[in-house]
Amino acid sequence: MNAVIEVKHLTKDFKDVKAVNDLSFSVESGQVYGFLGQNGAGKSTTIRMLLTLIKPSSGDIEIFGMNLLKHRNEILRQVGAIIERPDLYKYLTALENLRIFAAMSGVKVSEKALMDQLAMVGLAERAHSKVKTYSQGMKQRLGIATALVHDPKLIILDEPTNGLDPQGIADIRNLILHLSKEMNKTLLISSHLLSEMELIADSMIIIDKGKKVVEGKVNELFDPAETVVELKTTDDAATYEKLQQSALKNMVQGKRNDCILLKLHRDEIPAVMKELVQMDIEVLSFYSKHSLEDYFLSLTAHPHVETLKN
């Protein structure tokens, strides 16, 4: 596949704060690309640089094989984006909003095409309702429709499910999958809902404090057979010392919520439990989890995660 986005050594400084630090990643054509990180990790700053809303301190961005700074207008004509919540005219109808956004995009779109856009996002029956009567989920879907009105090749969504209820989240998820699988659009999606990214992303990057922690295809990075275990004992400090001197030392990841974290293959769980018994460790709980969220937390610094490894 060809790279739609190619970011190389991107850096953004705000006075004494390095919001993005030597960041490089690549988004292939037709992918749903998850852009993950904690609040303040640099996701929104990176997206704003991709949309030329702010300038990088250093580094290069290529989109569709062209340098973004040299070919800004040509590139942005093929990009649709929503940053945080969409800006909509709440006293106008959904159809009127689409007409305005089409005119702003400089493209001529027929009424039928606009109605088809509303049908795609599930709003055809409410096309003539004022946006002020819409739920937040409906506004979010209409926002995506406005970003699609000029038929872009690349769609960038910053936290598209933020503040939505479970049904609204499911609606956005299904819409994203439709855009990717049925319409062959490329999507870059920033999200803190890791369980959602696990369901829709083909590839992803995790960034922490502006730097890349890991990048790759989700099915290669995240092996469901790999599990994170939260181990709680009667004396975690003494247990950690024992584990560091044992055959299990390479499994120790850190400590979270007063539990020791172990990372292992699920087939190793019986042997690990047997080893703990033989070490005379009094186990209070042994909780096995495997999800993208656990993988994410195992890779990033977190306010309530204390790294135990040197």
Task: Give the 3-state secondary structure of residue 164.
Answer: coil
Strand order across the 3-14 sheet = 17-28, 3-14, 58-63, 66-67
pLDDT recorded at residue 35 = 94
pLDDT recorded at residue 305 = 40
**Tokens 């999200």 sit on residue:** 191
pLDDT recorded at residue 121 = 92
pLDDT recorded at residue 13 = 94
* CATH no. of 226-306: 3.30.70
DSSP 177-223: HIIIIIT--EEEEE-S-HHHHHHH-SEEEEEETTEEEEEEEHHHH--
Phi and psi torsions of 21, nearest 5°: -130, 100
Rounded to an integer, what distance in angstroms lies between the CA atom of residue 138 and that of residue 94? 10
260 touches 281 (CB < 8 A) = no
Phi and psi torsions of 229, nearest 5°: -110, 130
User: Backbone dihedral region of 30: left (phi > 0), alpha (psi from -120 to 50 degrees) or beta?
Assistant: left
For residue 90, the cross-strand partners are none
29 touches 2 (CB < 8 A) = yes
Q: How far is CA 164 from the centre of its chain?
A: 16
pLDDT recorded at residue 304 = 39
pLDDT recorded at residue 294 = 62
Residues 300, 301, 303, 309: is their CA dihedral positive or negative?
positive
174 touches 198 (CB < 8 A) = no
The arrangement of secondary structure in 3-221, i.e. its CATH architecture, is 3-Layer(aba) Sandwich (3.40)
pLDDT recorded at residue 289 = 67
pLDDT recorded at residue 224 = 61
Domain ranges of the chain: 3-221, 226-306
Rounded to an integer, what distance in angstroms lies between the CA atom of residue 76 and that of residue 100? 18
Rounded to an integer, what distance in angstroms lies between the CA atom of residue 165 and that of residue 171? 10
Query: Counting Cβ atoms within 10 Å, is residue 132 exposed (0-12), middle (13-18) or buried (19+)?
Result: exposed
252 touches 281 (CB < 8 A) = no
Mean pLDDT in consecutive groups of 10 residues from the start of the chain, 310 residues: 90 91 95 88 93 95 96 94 85 95 87 92 94 92 92 93 86 92 94 80 90 83 72 90 88 79 84 90 82 62 40
